[in-house]
Amino acid sequence: MAPLRSGRDGSEFRFRPGGPRPHLRGHCFPASAPGRGGWRPGVGLQGGARRTGPAYDADPEARPPEAQGIPDLTSLGSNSPPASASITLRELFRARKEALELELLTTGISLEGSITNPDLSKPGLALSGYTARFPENCPQVFGKTEMSYLETLEPAEARDRLEALFAHRVPAVFVTRGQEVPDSLLKVAAGADVPVFRSGLVTADFFRACKPYLEDVLAPATTVHGSLADVYGIGLLFTGPSGIGKSECVLSLVQRGHRLVADDLVLVSRRGNDVLMGRAHELQNFHMEIRGIGIVDIASMFGTRATRQRKRVEIIVDLQVWDDDREYDRTGFDREFTSILGVEIPRLIIPINPGKNLTVISEVIAMNQLLAYGGVDVPTRFADGLRRAMNPRDSLIEDYE
């Protein structure tokens, strides 16, 4: 087993001969610390590269997690499907009553029923009796078309159609345009314990105002251990082992004019199929933990220009301790991705060793992404230039063609 050494703060760490030095800019990495899971140098979120040699064989604790029986995390956050989010009708009514111009028309019906589907549906063909493809658990929106159609039906027939509609799982009914609601609809809805709301908005405006709110509240979400910063408008999510310097890097970025979103614990939610949004927990309130100093208030120190409520996660910057036995990408062609909530995010592994200026590197990562958004692929363009220089004849032929 690798020998124990004493750190500058009196803690102990394991030093592997020939491996990376444990002190990086004054930080030491404890061999075991309360709440840190016994992290050791060379073992990162992804399990690190496989290592061999005397030091590897002599010290089982220096092996990758999969060699120790620890599962290898292939994605950040939770690997299991996120728990289904929900919002009660009472919460929706309180939160969006004014924005949606809502009025509750039914009395004596509980508002504790939950909405779990952010989609809104219009009954459409269901009012004509065809309910084979009826969307379950979707709030139903009655616009002018639906209400005028009900008026054309005989009272008994209209009641039968509504009863067939409410035989399905309908959490709530919203009548738009401030229209008058017939008693038959209120009675059938009350019999099915479905609350009916009236909105003063036109149907299109109601959809535009309500659906984004439900998508935000009901979005799949998870938590990631790391720090999120807005650098030149690019959301950089810094990950890596505890104590490697994520918070210090983000603090330096804030000092250079960039913005903090979340530190230590990032709440990540999915928007649509390919967008991840990150934010801080409400109790964090733009506070950071800096080892040796304690808790600092970024908003009070640097002002509101240094903070941002939420930001899209666009690149994962994975900080890892330098490993002499591992080959790191030096061209930009070998691109890695990490899955969070089913969304693939580019992941850059940045090896840490003395002399690394993480702040400038982070700014370069953000600016390089801005170039990529503009259609500039620097590695490919550089490789094409080298190929043309080494094969001038081929270049002439291509130009001629």
Main-chain dihedrals φ then ψ at residue 338, nearest 5 degrees: -125, 140
For the chain, how many structural domains are there in total?
A: 3
194 and 293 housed in the same domain: no
Q: Has residue 236 been placed in a domain?
A: yes
Q: Has residue 241 been placed in a domain?
A: yes
Whole-angstrom Cα distance, residue 203 to residue 197? 13
96 and 33 housed in the same domain: no
Question: What pLDDT is attached to residue 323?
Answer: 84
Q: Last residue of some domain: 22, 45, 73?
A: 73
13 and 113 housed in the same domain: no
Predicted TM-score (pTM) of this structure: 0.67
161 and 211 housed in the same domain: yes
* Six token digits for residue 94: 């309180």
Whole-angstrom Cα distance, residue 11 to residue 7? 5
Whether 211 is catalytic is: no
Question: Is there a contact between 114 and 171 (Cβ–Cβ < 8 Å)?
Answer: yes
241 and 150 housed in the same domain: no
For 298-344, write each residue's pLDDT tens digit.
Answer: 999 999 999 999 999 999 999 999 888 887 777 777 788 999 999 99
* Six token digits for residue 358: 């993480």
* Six token digits for residue 36: 């840190």
236 and 355 housed in the same domain: yes
Dihedral of CA atoms 288, 299, 283, 268 in degrees, nearest 10, equals -80
Dihedral of CA atoms 165, 168, 169, 170 in degrees, nearest 10, equals 0
Identify the CA nearest to 94 among candidates 118, 111, 108.
111
Identify the CA nearest to 260 among candidates 217, 319, 302, 220.
302
Which of 8, 133, 330, 393 is catalytic? The answer is 330
Which of 40, 51, 246, 258 is catalytic? The answer is 246
Identify the CA nearest to 100 among candidates 21, 209, 250.
209
213 and 237 housed in the same domain: no
Whole-angstrom Cα distance, residue 20 to residue 6? 16
Whether 27 is catalytic is: no
Q: Is the pLDDT of residue 121 over 60?
A: yes
Whole-angstrom Cα distance, residue 226 to residue 249? 11
Q: Has residue 399 been placed in a domain?
A: no
Which of 225, 271, 291, 326 is catalytic? The answer is 225
Q: Has residue 147 been placed in a domain?
A: yes
CATH number where 147 lies: 3.40.1390.20
One-letter amino acid identity for 110?
S
Confidence of residue 396 (pLDDT cuts 50, 70, 90): low
One-letter amino acid identity for 106?
T
201 and 340 housed in the same domain: no
Q: Has residue 384 been placed in a domain?
A: no
Range ranked top by mean pLDDT from 36-40, 171-175, 382-386: 171-175
* Six token digits for residue 75: 């994605």
Q: Has residue 19 been placed in a domain?
A: yes
Radius of gyration of the chain (CA): 29
Q: Has residue 400 been placed in a domain?
A: no
4 and 120 housed in the same domain: no
Whether 5 is catalytic is: no
Higher pLDDT, 146 or 385: 146
229 and 199 housed in the same domain: no
Q: Last residue of some domain: 217, 232, 251?
A: 217
Q: Has residue 390 been placed in a domain?
A: no
Q: Last residue of some domain: 41, 73, 105?
A: 73
Question: What pLDDT is attached to residue 40?
Answer: 33
120 and 239 housed in the same domain: no
Give the Å distances, CA to CA, from 398 to 321, 378, 395: 45, 21, 5
Whether 122 is catalytic is: no
Question: What pLDDT is attached to residue 400?
Answer: 55
What residue numbers bound the domain in which 249 lies? 221-375
Whole-angstrom Cα distance, residue 39 to residue 32? 6
Which of 59, 160, 264, 325 is catalytic? The answer is 264
CATH number where 294 lies: 3.40.50.300
Q: In 129-232, which ranges are E strands?
A: 140-142, 173-175, 196-199, 221-225, 227-231
248 and 371 housed in the same domain: yes
